[in-house]
């Protein structure tokens, strides 16, 4: 094995080591397990956004909508359909993904800022629906009245409701599945066409890649991932928030990806960790925390556009 491969393996081991042992090293540092769970879920969302933004190079900004749809899908499933956590996750993912697939067909012929504008506008449609259809969604108050169900493995039940640690490991497992799928796709021939489109769209087209179709596929995939992350998020607080659909939430996810490093696979997770911790801390010490978040955006954009992991030479997908 080459030095490069060994380096990557060590890095990977370190990351997974940290993730697996999080409930143990977080507490002495003043953290708590639920925080780690939140970071994982939001990190997954940021990675899903980056799937499109960093790896395909498409300026998609309205992604929170699919996150929110996933959350509502999971919540509604648990509240009205059947008390099954896996099913809630699947249906949440499907809701987000399918809406993304349909809207994607309308959007993919645009590019650049126009694309961003349209994705934002469409995202807002769902925000609006969540607010207005209050009989179903709870309106402004959000969707409540459901909770994550213990998972029945036949031989035993995993109680993820009352045990924060159990839930963390469940979420970590889900994270591993989705992150694994993402990595798998990015390493595949299809993944390479995504990178090609990012590197030089014209050349990609002149190699015979139907660019719009590939962007639609990447868009749809990232919406499925977002939906799944959103479904997990609903389980974190047993609550689905309409604000999770607002474009400002999209901005947060994009910022996490940028802060962590858009060209790296794990960057968005790191960005999410920093963002969540910072936001938690700031909102506890000042009521004007929003302007600090805004300031963070401004500073990162002006001075650290490559993000924390951006100093790495090149990150192969």
Partner 1 sequence: MTQLLLFNVTNGLIIGAFYVLMALGLSLILNLSNVINFAHGGFLVIGGYIAYTISPYVGFWGALLLAPPLTAVIGLAVERVLIRPLYGRDPLYSLLLTFGLAFIIEDGTRFIWGPQGKPVTIPPFLAQPLSNELFFITGYRLFMVAVVMIAVALLFQLLRYTRLGIRIRAGTLDLETVAALGINVQMLRSLNFAVGIYLAGLSGVLAAGQLGLEPTMGTGLLMPSFIAIIVGGIGSLPGTLVGGLLIGVASGLTAVFLPAASEAVIYVLMAVVLLLRPRGLFGEEGMMS
Partner 2 sequence: MNVLEINDVTKRFGNLVAVRDVSLNVAKGEMCAIIGPNGAGKTTFFNLISGFFPPTSGNIVFDGRDITRLSTHERVTRGMARTFQITEIFPELTVFENVRISAEVAGGYRLRPWIGRSDAAKLHAVVEETLKLVSLEGKADRLVGELAHGDQRAAEIAMALALKPHLLLLDEPTAGMGDQETFQVTQLIRRLHRESNYTIVLIEHDMRVVFHLADRICVLDQGRMLAQGTPQEIATNESVQAAYLGNAA
Work out the number of other CB atoms within 10 angstroms of the CB of residue 313. Answer: 4
Question: In this complex, which beta carbon is closest to partner 1, that of residue 37 or of residue 220?
Answer: 220
Q: Does 121 bind partner 1 (CB under 8 A)?
A: yes
Q: How far is the CB of 301 from partner 1 (least distance, A)?
A: 5
| Partner whose footprint covers residue 134, from partner 2, partner 1, none (CB < 5 to 8 Å by kind) | none
| Binding residue for partner 2, selected from 133, 192, 294, 301, defined by CB under 8 A | 192
Per CB under 8 A, the segment of 82-90, 118-126, 168-176, 232-240 that binds partner 1 is 118-126
- 187 membership: H or E segment, kind and range: helix 164-187
Per CB under 8 A, the segment of 63-71, 187-195, 272-280, 299-307 that binds partner 1 is 299-307
| Binding residue for partner 1, selected from 128, 184, 190, 281, defined by CB under 8 A | 128
- What are the CA-CA distances from residue 86 to residues 22, 82, 153, 179 (Å)? 24, 10, 11, 17
Asked whether 126 and 68 are in contact (CB, 8 A), the reply is: yes
Residue whose C-alpha is closest to residue 79's, from 234, 229, 226, 244: 234
Question: In this complex, which beta carbon is closest to partner 1, that of residue 21 or of residue 106?
Answer: 106
72-74-79 Cα angle (round to 5): 90
Q: How far is the CB of 316 from partner 2 (least distance, A)?
A: 9
The interface mask with partner 1, positions 35-74, x = CB under 8 A, is ------------------x-----x-x-------------
Q: Does 298 bind partner 1 (CB under 8 A)?
A: yes
Q: Does 288 bind partner 1 (CB under 8 A)?
A: yes
- 88 membership: H or E segment, kind and range: helix 85-107
| Binding residue for partner 1, selected from 39, 44, 258, 274, defined by CB under 8 A | 258
Q: Does 256 bind partner 2 (CB under 8 A)?
A: no
Site of tokens 């060590």: 10
Q: How far is the CB of 15 from partner 2 (least distance, A)?
A: 23
Question: In this complex, which beta carbon is closest to partner 2, that of residue 206 or of residue 303?
Answer: 206
| Partner whose footprint covers residue 190, from partner 2, partner 1, none (CB < 5 to 8 Å by kind) | partner 2
What are the residues whose beta carbons fall under 8 Å from the beta carbon of 25, sequence distance 6 or more?
18
Separation CA 135–CA 127 (nearest Å): 15
Separation CA 107–CA 252 (nearest Å): 22
Residue whose C-alpha is closest to residue 238's, from 162, 174, 169, 140: 162
Q: Does 189 bind partner 2 (CB under 8 A)?
A: yes
- What are the CA-CA distances from residue 48 to residues 33, 69, 241, 312 (Å)? 23, 14, 19, 21
Q: Does 255 bind partner 1 (CB under 8 A)?
A: yes
Task: At 259, list the tokens.
Answer: 């802060």
Q: How far is the CB of 96 from partner 2 (least distance, A)?
A: 20
Separation CA 310–CA 11 (nearest Å): 15
Per CB under 8 A, the segment of 1-9, 204-212, 271-279, 283-291 that binds partner 2 is 204-212
Question: In this complex, which beta carbon is closest to partner 2, that of residue 204 or of residue 231?
Answer: 204
Separation CA 147–CA 160 (nearest Å): 10
Q: Does 195 bind partner 2 (CB under 8 A)?
A: yes
């Amino acid at each position: 094995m080459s030095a490069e491969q060994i380096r990557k393996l060590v890095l990977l081991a370190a990351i997974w080591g940290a993730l697996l042992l999080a409930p143990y090293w977080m507490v002495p540092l003043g953290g708590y397990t639920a925080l780690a769970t939140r970071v994982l879920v939001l990190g997954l969302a940021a990675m899903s956004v980056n799937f499109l933004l960093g790896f395909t190079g498409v300026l998609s900004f309205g992604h929170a909508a699919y996150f929110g749809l996933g959350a509502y899908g999971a919540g509604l499933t648990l509240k009205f359909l059947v008390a099954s956590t896996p099913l809630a996750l699947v249906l949440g993912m499907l809701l987000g993904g399918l809406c993304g697939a349909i809207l994607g067909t309308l959007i993919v012929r645009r590019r650049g800022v126009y694309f961003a504008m349209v994705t934002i506008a469409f995202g807002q449609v769902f925000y609006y629906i969540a607010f207005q259809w209050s009989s179903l969604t709870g309106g402004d108050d959000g969707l409540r009245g459901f909770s994550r169900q213990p998972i029945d493995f036949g031989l035993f039940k995993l109680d993820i409701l009352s045990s924060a640690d159990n839930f963390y490991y469940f979420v970590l497992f889900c994270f591993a599945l989705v992150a694994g799928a993402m990595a798998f796709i990015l390493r595949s021939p299809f993944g390479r066409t995504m990178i090609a489109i990012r590197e030089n769209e014209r050349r990609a087209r002149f190699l015979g890649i139907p660019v719009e179709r590939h962007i639609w596929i990447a868009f749809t995939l990232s919406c499925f991932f977002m939906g799944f992350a959103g479904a997990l998020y609903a389980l974190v607080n047993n609550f689905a928030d309409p604000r999770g659909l607002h474009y400002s939430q999209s901005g947060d996810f994009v910022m996490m990806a940028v802060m962590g490093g858009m060209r790296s696979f794990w960057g968005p997770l790191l960005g999410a960790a920093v963002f969540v911790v910072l936001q938690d801390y700031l909102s506890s010490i000042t009521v004007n925390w929003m302007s600090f978040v805004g300031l963070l955006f401004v500073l990162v954009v002006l001075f650290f556009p490559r993000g924390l992991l951006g100093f790495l030479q090149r990150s192969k997908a």
